[in-house]
Amino acid sequence: MSPNPPPLPPLLLIGGGKMGAAMLAGWRERGISRVVVVDPGPDAASLAGHGVDIIAAITDLAADFTPQAVILAVKPQVAPEAIPALAKFAGTAVFVSIMAGRTLGWLAGLLGPGTAIIRAMPNTPAAIRQGITIACAGPGVAQDQHELAESLLTAVGQIEFVTDETLLDVVTAVSGGGPAYVFLLTELLADAAIEQGIPPDLARRLARQTVIGSAALLAASAEPPSALRRAVTSPKGTTERALAVLMAKQAWPEAISNAIAAATERSRELARE
């Protein structure tokens, strides 16, 4: 990408929730021409200005507005009602869906066969441009539309494309939900510290900065996580004793495996609802 790329073309964002707002912030930094956000919620008004317009419904969209990309950022449960009205853009725009579980085939059933659709799964670190997105393009996507979608998604972090759409259910479980698992670990570390007598405020700061620092170390190191773990683990030391508990088969290995399997299955269920 050039140092000063041209502004992004007109975009239509359906859903201004946390992920939609995070992506919008990234696009603003990248440079936009015009973005229309469809969101009836009262909080959506805070997104307006600097090239961004907010409307409550697709029926409020100006007749002469022709987006080059339509980003579907609504909850999958409301998609059957929200998407059919967008079919009028199927011949001119690429659709980028970040909805969990809703397949390319399902979306094409609402938008029409041959519609250019890319299914993607970003995660919430997109809010600070540190996200990762895995995407899969449908058969109707032209090269310029693929490049536009890639530009939209790299504005909020890293991106990788896959050709096997079924992988996105696992991606949803691992990286889509992954931040929640890290935040839970932070909570549990703080709670355990409090149980062992550390004052609550100090326990929370200690747990928070430990997770932040560990993530920064992982980002800065070329070593795999297993090597970094071993570097912290002195033989017959305190960390080794703790890891013996956490790495027992019935502890973290089994719990994490079961959690990812459960989330993956839920993603597959959404495709059938």
55: helix, strand or coil: strand
Q: How confident is the model over 104-155, as pLDDT tens digits?
A: 999 999 999 999 999 999 998 988 889 999 999 999 899 999 999 999 999 8
**Cα–Cα distance, 73 to 21 (Å, whole number):** 9
Domain-wise residue ranges, the chain: 11-167, 178-272
Element holding 4 (H helix, E strand):
none
N-term to C-term CA, the chain: 40
Q: What is the chain's mean pLDDT, rounded?
A: 94
20: helix, strand or coil: helix
**How many residues belong to the chain?**
273
Token pair of 169, please? 């259910």
Q: Which of 115, 112, 57 is nearest to 82 (CA)?
A: 57
pLDDT of residue 140: 87
Give the up-direction half-sphere exposure of residue 218: CA atoms within 13 A in the CB hemisphere.
Answer: 10
**Cα–Cα distance, 94 to 137 (Å, whole number):** 10
**Does residue 166 register a pLDDT over 90?**
yes
**Cα–Cα distance, 33 to 27 (Å, whole number):** 10
- Kindly report the CATH number that applies to the domain delimited by 11-167: 3.40.50.720
Burial of 67 (0-12, 13-18, 19+ CB in 10 A): buried
- Which residues, 6 or more positions from 193, have their beta carbon under 8 angstroms from its beta carbon? 202, 203, 206, 207
Q: How confident is the model over 185-235, as pLDDT tens digits?
A: 999 999 999 999 999 999 999 999 999 999 999 999 999 999 999 999 999
261: helix, strand or coil: helix
Q: How confident is the model over 37-80, as pLDDT tens digits?
A: 999 999 899 999 989 999 999 999 999 999 999 999 999 888 89
Architecture of domain 178-272: Orthogonal Bundle (1.10)
Q: How confident is the model over 1-38, as pLDDT tens digits?
A: 556 788 999 999 999 998 899 899 989 988 999 999 99
